[in-house]
Amino acid sequence: GQQVMQIPQYQHVQEGEDFTTYCNSSTTLSNIQWYKQRPGGHPVFLIQLVKSGEVKKQKRLTFQFGEAKKNSSLHITATQTTDVGTYFCAGLNYGGSQGNLIFGKGTKLSVKP
């Protein structure tokens, strides 16, 4: 079945350093979503990418969707302690059920002040 692999599983950075998490799908995706889960909280939607090669920015966060729509990345510039949490990607399989959203296992980010 469809799999969405996400790396790294953990990332520890010094405040001010950059951070990147990567998602790779075994199949073509119709879209990719990114969520953030703070410790003890629930996932919160960050953004959605739909077009091949799409790049979107939210302040210090940059999201990319690969040309083949099989991979995506989230890059945070100059991390802050407020960025702490687990970042998940999630995608719908192209041509598959519109209800079956597949999540990556997440990247847990810790930021040392």
Partner 1 sequence: EAQVTQNPRYLITVTGKKLTVTCSQNMNHEYMSWYRQDPGLGLRQIYYSMNVEVTDKGDVPEGYKVSRKEKRNFPLILESPSPNQTSLYFCASSFLPGPYEQYFGPGTRLTVT
When binding is defined by CB under 8 A, the residue of 90, 93, 109, 111 that contacts partner 1 is 90
When binding is defined by CB under 8 A, the residue of 44, 55, 68, 78 that contacts partner 1 is 44
When binding is defined by CB under 8 A, the residue of 9, 58, 80, 81 that contacts partner 1 is 9
Closer residue to partner 1 in complex, CB, 27/77: 27
**Closest residue by Cα to residue 70 from 100, 97, 30, 36:** 30
When binding is defined by CB under 8 A, the residue of 73, 104, 109, 111 that contacts partner 1 is 104
CB 90 within 8 A of CB 32: yes
CB 75 within 8 A of CB 18: yes
Task: Note whether 92 binds partner 1 by CB under 8 A.
Answer: yes
CB 22 within 8 A of CB 104: no
Closer residue to partner 1 in complex, CB, 45/67: 45
Q: What is the CA radius of gyration of the chain?
A: 14
